[in-house]
Amino acid sequence: MSETVLVARRGGVLELTLNRPDKLNAFNEEMHAALARALAQAAADESVRAVLLTGAGRGFCAGQDLADRAVADDDNPPDLGATLERWYNPLIRRLRTLDKPVVCAVNGVAAGAGANIALACDIVLAARSASFIQAFARIGLVPDSGGTWLLPRLVGEARARALALLGEKVTAEQAEAWGMIWKVVDDERLMEEARALADRLAAGPTRGFALIKRALLASWSQDLDAQLDLERDLQREAGRSQDYREGVRAFMEKRPPRFVGR
């Protein structure tokens, strides 16, 4: 088992901690593989009803480990498209399509792919001292891990262009003000708040949450007509769930619902 991603189970939450703190949790292949395994575990285990992703030490994630790229010589450039295909793209797809909510607790700097992996999670909390850097242009690269898709949608075209081209640091407070993330939290309260949020989601209607994720993801590539049809289909499915029946019953009985995730 790799120590590059710490996996801890707390009730219905699978807590994943990127764990290469001396490298600000930059990704090497071992960490990619460990994270892929952990997310596959989250997907397969019905008793996992929410995921919490964070980083060890003072950073969240500094993107690709550039030490693994420094050996390339002029005649033998690395095929970065292949790394995206092999690791980063499947990771973003996994986060976006996981049938359960993913909370990200950004505990420090999130740079390069690290920033966009955080933004691909469902609800992003950031420590007040955290920051987001589209570091790619600083080294001649293009924002990846969904950055060129997510950024304009989150912060608008003008800001997305400037962030991608300039690679400037965005503070957590700025990120919240721009709608890039959900919320800034004081550093010492980050994990407490993130865990409370993950616990709350893990006690929620997991099946319904999965359908919400599916609908929101589809909305970017569909017109209103198609989206209305999709909402009809997903609502039909949600209406057949045990949690919907429980939700209505609890409302009528004026008590909190006890969702089971089915």
Binding site residues, ligand T3D, CB under 6 A: 23-24, 26, 62-67, 69, 80, 83, 109, 111-113, 133, 135-136, 139, 141, 144
- Would you say 50 or 106 has its CB closer to ligand T3D? 106
Cβ atoms 130, 106 nearer than 8 A: yes
Task: Report the side by side order of strands in the sheet with 169-171.
Answer: 59-61, 109-111, 131-133, 169-171
Angstrom distance (rounded) from CA 9 to CA 49 = 11
- Would you say 63 or 146 has its CB closer to ligand T3D? 63
Which of 53, 60, 52, 54 has the alpha carbon at shortest distance from 24? Answer: 60
Minimum CB separation of residue 80 from ligand T3D in Å reads 4
For residue 195, report the phi and psi dihedrals to the nearest 5 degrees. -70, -40
Minimum CB separation of residue 170 from ligand T3D in Å reads 12
- Would you say 84 or 191 has its CB closer to ligand T3D? 84
Instruction: Tell me the CA distances in angstroms from 172 to 77, 108, 129, 164, 241, one per residue in order.
Output: 35, 9, 7, 17, 38
Angstrom distance (rounded) from CA 190 to CA 165 = 30
- Would you say 41 or 89 has its CB closer to ligand T3D? 89
Minimum CB separation of residue 92 from ligand T3D in Å reads 12
**Cβ-proximal residue to ligand T3D, closest one:** 63
Minimum CB separation of residue 110 from ligand T3D in Å reads 8
- Would you say 139 or 162 has its CB closer to ligand T3D? 139
Minimum CB separation of residue 95 from ligand T3D in Å reads 15
Minimum CB separation of residue 119 from ligand T3D in Å reads 13
- Would you say 19 or 241 has its CB closer to ligand T3D? 19
Determine the straight-line distance between the first and last CA of the chain, rounded to whole angstroms: 31
Contacts of 41 (CB under 8 A, 6+ apart): 7, 14, 48
Q: Which helix (H) or strand (E) holds 120?
A: helix 113-120
Which of 60, 103, 63, 61 has the alpha carbon at shortest distance from 87? Answer: 63
- Would you say 55 or 112 has its CB closer to ligand T3D? 112
Structure tokens given for 146: 């969904």
Minimum CB separation of residue 178 from ligand T3D in Å reads 19
